[in-house]
Amino acid sequence: MVPRVGMTDLEALSVPFACIDDDGQADASRVVKKRAIRCALSRICGICGDTLNRPIAFLGPRSEADGNRFAFPPLHLSCARESAAARADAVGGHLGHVHADGAWLMVTTGGFDLIRPSRRGDPVWFSPNSVIEILEA
């Protein structure tokens, strides 16, 4: 992750962009919906907050990969790789998940769809729509 101008202290502490709310509250075990939607609409990375480039990566538990819908926003391939490598040492949640254990997969794709909740309060999901590769993470 390359430090950016204007990066807050929390972001510098490597709490993912999508896990920090507008008040600066950071919790790696939950995704802030407003930021998740911003990641989708502005095509920015859920970890570093910079503009995405292809291929796009999604990272999450196997159950999410099997269902082709991820709770965490799209990522740079490099950010996904770093996050996958850091998962073993994750304390207090990882990429919007309370638990970072078990089998996780990384899916690379050329694009994705944002799945908006049908009910207020439910989370948004991200669905890769042209999967390139599925890797153990």
Q: Does 80 bind Zn ion (CB under 5 A)?
A: no
Number of Cα atoms under 13 Å in the Cβ half of residue 113:
8
Q: Does 79 bind Zn ion (CB under 5 A)?
A: yes
Q: Does 97 bind Zn ion (CB under 5 A)?
A: no
Number of residues in contact with Zn ion, rule: CB under 5 A? Answer: 5
Q: Does 69 bind Zn ion (CB under 5 A)?
A: no
Binding mask 23-52 for Zn ion (x = CB under 5 A): ----------------------x-xx----
Q: Does 15 bind Zn ion (CB under 5 A)?
A: no
| Rounded (to 5) percent helix, strand, coil in the chain | 25, 25, 50
Q: What CA–CA distance (Å, rounded) separates 11 from 17?
A: 7
Q: Which residues bind Zn ion (CB under 5 A)?
A: 45, 47-48, 76, 79
